[in-house]
């Protein structure tokens, strides 16, 4: 677990500094005046922010060190682009940028390969989506994104679906203090429905009413997938006899199902 890990990428996470609001403001002002050491202090003073973000992604099988490094890239981008005049908390601005950087890394390293052109469309759509969120302070519709990009709505949907990250069937989606509910709990199983179970029982009962030769023919044909000619050679009769016995056996079973 991440909470038990003290050192990540050579950084002792238990001793990371925490900056106050006034310290942050002073460091940003110094950085904008060209003080390189102020930028370094801002990075070191916000590494805990990266740690809090990467905890969301630790169940994807990625190395924590890799996620931490990618998250630091997002942090540095946020520091370099943060505008003090906007009167917004730095963490409010930085967290989405860190998350975005990690998601881009996960998409680019996805074992399911997506064409470059499709990824480009998806990334453009995500950039437009972020711009529209900032402009209207709400989630834009697919139609609005498609209109902005001057592309068919279907193409945007297809591209965004293509870059979705696969998740485990054992990914928890809800937890109320008791047993968690996983993705697999929300998927129906058509093979194990009561109707199929009862049909299986009926078929087994009907098979018991057949002769040994009829049982053998149906087993070879429908359970082992052999052709009538192969069945005929195995039991030593003609293909026409196999066909006749098979039809008779199936008709016999229908009467009992």
For residue range 113-132, list pLDDT tens digits in order.
667 788 888 888 989 998 88
pTM: 0.45
Check: CB of residue 208 under 8 Å from CB of residue 214: no
What pLDDT does 1 receive? Answer: 40
Mean pLDDT of the chain: 80
pLDDT at site 188: 58
pLDDT over 80 (residue 186) = no
CB atoms within 10 A of CB 172: 13
Same fold, 112-164 and 190-254: yes
CA dist 214 → 199, 202, 210, 239, 240 (Å): 20, 17, 6, 14, 14
Digit-coded pLDDT (tens) for 21-57: 889 889 999 998 998 899 999 998 999 889 888 888 8
Q: Give the domain 190-254 fold.
A: Arc Repressor Mutant, subunit A (1.10.10)
Asked if the 112-164 domain carries CATH number 1.10.10.10, the reply is yes
Q: Which residue has the higher pLDDT, 121 or 3?
A: 121
One CATH from 1.10.10.10, 1.20.120.50, 1.10.3720.10, 1.20.120.1810 for 1-110: 1.20.120.1810
């Amino acid at each position: 677990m991440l909470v038990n890990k003290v050192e990540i990428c050579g950084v002792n996470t238990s001793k990371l500094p925490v900056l106050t609001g006034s310290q942050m403001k002073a460091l940003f002002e110094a950085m904008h005046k060209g003080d390189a050491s102020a930028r370094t202090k801002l990075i070191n003073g916000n590494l805990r922010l990266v740690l809090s973000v990467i905890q969301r992604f630790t169940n994807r099988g990625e190395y924590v060190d890799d996620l931490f490094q990618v998250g630091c890239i997002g942090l540095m981008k946020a520091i370099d682009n943060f505008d003090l005049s906007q009167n917004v908390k730095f963490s409010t601005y930085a967290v989405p940028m860190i998350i975005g950087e990690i998601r881009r890394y996960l998409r680019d390293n996805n074992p399911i390969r997506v064409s470059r052109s499709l990824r480009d469309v998806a990334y453009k759509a995500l950039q437009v989506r972020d711009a529209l969120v900032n402009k209207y302070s709400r989630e834009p519709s697919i139609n609005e994104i498609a209109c902005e990009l001057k592309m068919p709505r279907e193409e945007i949907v297809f591209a965004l679906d293509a870059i979705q990250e696969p998740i485990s069937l054992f990914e928890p989606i809800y937890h109320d203090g008791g047993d968690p509910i996983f993705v697999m709990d929300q998927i129906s199983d058509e093979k194990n429905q009561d109707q199929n179970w009862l049909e299986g029982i009926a078929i087994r009962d009907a098979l018991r009413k057949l002769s040994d030769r009829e049982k053998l023919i149906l087993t070879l044909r429908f359970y082992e997938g052999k052709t009538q000619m192969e069945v005929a050679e195995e039991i030593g009769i003609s293909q026409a006899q196999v066909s006749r016995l098979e039809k008779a056996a199936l008709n016999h079973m229908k009467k009992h199902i």
